[in-house]
Amino acid sequence: MSVLQRDPQDQVRVLDEDGSVVGDVPDIDDETMVEMYRYMRLARHFDTRAVSLQRQGRMGTYPPLSGQEGAQIGSAVALAEDDWMVPSYREHGAALVRGLPLKQTLLYWMGHEKGNEMPEGANIFPPAVPIASQIPHATGAGWALKLREEADKAVMCYFGDGATSEGDFHEGLNFAGVFDTPNVFFCNNNQWAISVPRERQTASETLAQKAVAYGIDGIQVDGMDPLAVYAVTQAALDKAKNPQEDECRPTLIEAVQYRFGAHTTADDPTVYRDDEEVEKWKAKDPIPRLETFLRETGRLDDESVDAIEESVKEQVADAIDAAESDPRPDPSEMFEYAYAEMTPEVEAQYEEFQALHEKFGDEGFLRE
């Protein structure tokens, strides 16, 4: 029986908080499991360094992902090469799995237009900051694949718990249900939409059960358990591409998790949540959980963990060097890429900017 055939209240788990097996371990080869662990360590270290760069004035606002590595890596590893990923703004870890270099992520948050350039063939949409706006886009992409008879590829869309209160969520999932599109809707329920807690966002008992209204499958998974996330996402992607006669293609996955840090570097979570709550969730940290499992099953040892730690540090340091030595972008690029051709409003803004730039020079715009 598919792991998806259960009640949206019945959370899928594979590893408990101590890394002990409490469910069906998915069929993942040893190398990929260790790779998942390495990606999670890389995402965590990158995150720590990115926050520190912002604090030092070397980068703009940045949305941290620590705590969410299990959901990001566990889900992204399940994607096939030809599938598509439609991210929100926090999916740096998932994007890494798809082949987006860390340098690109840094450039994006440094305000560099080049950070929006996705590598050829990585099949990633650019990050979406307007909440839930990427959901109808993802449904549209899924529908396009179906119309082109390419529904052997799926589109996975990431968004947060807060996004499920937006009209775009409703419209995107409703269309997906009606047109039976090859979509996986992956909700990162990290308990907070900035300072608004989960229980103030919706009266629904779970977010997964919202799927019922659209006639699609909804499933809740422990989002801090990378193996459970992998199992559920893999089954949902498979169903999106190869549904049985009585199955629908789309699935809504609610991955229950927590962001350990601030919403973004512009936020101070200590004013709206208790240390006690944070500590409770830190005990569920996905990284030591997977590490314990991998050590106990002989897939990792001290030596390989040390080697991973070293290589992760080096990779992040190299990415920071590469991003910081990239030439500063020309500010007029801000106006050039939203549309293939500038609209009259954008053109007027561009001309105003050019006039100011000529008058005040670069110094007029830069705060050093």
Ligand X SMILES: Cc1ncc(C[n+]2csc(CCOP(=O)(O)OP(=O)(O)O)c2C)c(N)n1
Question: H helices of the chain, where?
Answer: 30-55, 69-76, 92-97, 102-109, 134-147, 167-179, 198-201, 226-241, 275-282, 286-296, 302-324, 344-360
The answer to whether 35 and 42 are in contact (CB under 8 A) is no
Q: Would you give the DSSP letter of residue 104?
A: H
Catalytic residue among 38, 90, 249, 263: 263
230 is annotated as an active-site residue: no
Residue 217's DSSP bridge partners are 251
Catalytic residue among 55, 200, 272, 337: 272
Query: Which tokens go with 328?
Result: 């500063």
The answer to whether 135 and 159 are in contact (CB under 8 A) is yes
Q: Which residue is nearest to ligand X (CB)?
A: 160
Query: Total binding residues for Mg ion by CB under 5 A?
Result: 4
Least distance from ligand X to the Cβ atom of residue 267, Å: 9
Cβ proximity to Mg ion: between 53 and 255 the closer is 255
Among 115, 160, 177, 286, binds Mg ion (CB under 5 A): 160
Backbone angles phi, psi at 167, to 5 degrees: -60, -35
200 is annotated as an active-site residue: no
Least distance from ligand X to the Cβ atom of residue 354, Å: 29
Least distance from ligand X to the Cβ atom of residue 234, Å: 23
Cβ proximity to ligand X: between 147 and 194 the closer is 194
Cβ proximity to ligand X: between 19 and 126 the closer is 126
The answer to whether 272 and 208 are in contact (CB under 8 A) is no
161 binds Mg ion (CB under 5 A): yes
Rounded to whole angstroms, how far apart are CA atoms 136 and 168? 6
Rounded to whole angstroms, how far apart are CA atoms 87 and 89? 6
The upper half-sphere exposure of residue 230, i.e. CA atoms within 13 Å in the direction of its Cβ, equals 25
Residue numbers of the site for ligand X (CB under 6 A)? 90, 129-131, 160-163, 188, 190, 192-194, 263
Least distance from ligand X to the Cβ atom of residue 136, Å: 13
Residues 250-289 contacting Mg ion, CB under 5 A: none
For residue 287, the partner it binds in ligand X, Mg ion, none, with Cβ less than 5 to 8 A by kind, is none
Cβ proximity to ligand X: between 95 and 308 the closer is 95
For residue 158, which of 190, 180, 113 has the smallest C-alpha distance?
Answer: 190
Sign of CA dihedral 242, 243, 248, 253: negative
CA 298 to chain CA mean position, Å: 30
Least distance from ligand X to the Cβ atom of residue 90, Å: 5
The answer to whether 293 and 267 are in contact (CB under 8 A) is no
Distance between terminal CA atoms of the chain? Answer: 60
Least distance from ligand X to the Cβ atom of residue 258, Å: 10
Q: Would you give the DSSP letter of residue 84?
A: E
The burial of 50, by beta-carbon neighbours within 10 Å (0-12 exposed, 13-18 middle, 19 or more buried), is given as buried
158 is annotated as an active-site residue: no
Cβ proximity to Mg ion: between 88 and 234 the closer is 88
CA 33 to chain CA mean position, Å: 19
Q: Which residue is nearest to Mg ion (CB)?
A: 160
Cβ proximity to ligand X: between 92 and 263 the closer is 263
Least distance from ligand X to the Cβ atom of residue 259, Å: 6
For residue 181, the partner it binds in Mg ion, ligand X, none, with Cβ less than 5 to 8 A by kind, is none
For residue 263, the partner it binds in ligand X, Mg ion, none, with Cβ less than 5 to 8 A by kind, is ligand X
Among 68, 164, 165, 190, binds Mg ion (CB under 5 A): 190
Cβ proximity to Mg ion: between 118 and 187 the closer is 187
For residue 163, the partner it binds in ligand X, Mg ion, none, with Cβ less than 5 to 8 A by kind, is ligand X
Amino acid found at 248: C
Instruction: Summarize as ranges the residues that interact with Mg ion (CB under 5 A).
Output: 160-161, 190, 193
Question: Which are the catalytic amino acids?
Answer: 259, 263, 272
